[in-house]
Amino acid sequence: MINQTLLDNAAKKFREHFGKPHTIAAYAPGRVEILGNHTDYNEGFVLSAAINMGAVFLASPSNNTTCRLIAGDITEETSFDISAVNRSEKNLWQNYVAGVLASLREHGKINTGFNGIFFGNVPLGAGLSSSAALEMAAGLAFCALYGINIDKLTLAKIGQRAEHEYAGAKCGLLDQISSLYGKANNLVMTDFRSLAVQNIPMDSNACFLMCNTNVKHRLVDGEYNERREKCEMAAKFFASELSHPVSALRDVSWEEYTKLSSVMDPVTAKRAAHVIGENTRVLKGKELLAKKDLCAFGQLMYESHESSRTNFENSCKELDFVVSQAKHIPGVLGARLSGGGFGGSVVILIHPRDAETAGKTLTAIYKKEFGMPCDIRIITPSDGATVL
Ligand code: GLA
């Protein structure tokens, strides 16, 4: 669901900057993680959704080898030669686009330059994957521009590689897959081992509120990568103790965990408890959605947050405050931190009739507690990325 104003504004800016209209436009949404935290790179399960905010990427071919790229939101411009698509230390935003472009070269001929501009309305640093939206919008635009044919999963992996090699975050595939496979009024259920993706209809008796705490953790990539290492260490430990093969925490049951946790390094054990618990919760949550038991689903969201707070230690006082206050607001069914953590947003499951009032209540109590505003929006599960 592209916001028409976003597209019109981008088209106008494109003409102003490059003197003629764009020839290609692509749009990709951000995502919200509903249940399943840090399970993607552990080959587990996640319920997510593409959201009604995203990034639009407009382009046209140039008649030489120069690539001119404009970050519309911040009006910064960069240019590079198509033979030198490198990582930039100066323009960090450029890395998401350059990283995608560099990998796409392995799938087709990219010898000429382009003029490109992007705009987005996903709040930055809010845990809603503004970077994946940019990668996927840029990826689709480049595929159209250079006549490259790849499937969605390949594009998702190209976005992930841009994060790993150009941006420095060892993320899983959740953000890119959600952005590509979203469907209006549906959640996205992904098995991150088989990479099977399923759309699950969302009950119209509930909707999602996002509460962006406006807290951005300074060391977020470092913390994220460190958590990932601990999960991999835990998987190695279980592989050496259990008689069946273990290549990721996905292979470890809760029973196996409880039998062995006391002989593990305590921090590694807590990280493993989070991931193994989350996998169980996502599978349970999928069944509850099928039964339309939103109350029980909401309880799983609270449990997920509690596990983030105590086991994975990727929450912060602002996120904890929002979750604990949400519990007392009429109509709220569940709440948890969404995404990498260490700041960012809380996703709240709520009866649609109560959403607006709940938003106002939370805004007021957050301001009173922290002296700064939080941003609340109603999130609609939306269609995935597309060439326009
Ligand atoms: C970030 C990463 C995802 C995923 C989530 C946590 O959004 O980019 O790959 O690991 O954190 O679930």
Q: Please give the positions annotated as active site.
A: 175
Pocket test for ligand 1, best of 40, 160, 164, 308 (most atoms within 8 A of CB): 40
- Residue of the nearest CA to atom 8 in ligand 1? 171
Residues with CB under 6 A from ligand 1: 33, 37-38, 40-41, 129, 171-172, 174-175, 339-340
The model's pLDDT over 31-81, given as tens digits with 9 standing for 90+, comes to 999 999 999 999 999 999 999 999 999 999 999 999 999 998 878 999 999
User: Which atom of ligand 1 is closest in space to residue 39's alpha carbon?
Assistant: 12
Q: Render 65-112 in DSSP notation, one character per residue.
A: SEEEEEETTTTEEEEEETT-----SS-HHHHHHHHHHHHHTTTS---S
- Looking at residue 275, its pLDDT comes to 98
Which phi and psi angles does 144 have, rounded to 5°?
-70, -40
Strand partners, 187: 200
Res. 219 pLDDT band, cuts 50 70 90: low
Going from the Cα of 239 to the center of ligand 1, the distance in angstroms, rounded, reads 24
The model's pLDDT over 295-343, given as tens digits with 9 standing for 90+, comes to 999 999 999 999 999 999 999 999 999 999 999 999 999 999 999 999 9
Q: How far apart are CA 179 and CA 188, in angstroms?
A: 10
Residue 290 has pLDDT above 80, yes or no: yes
Query: Can you give the length of the chain in residues?
Result: 388
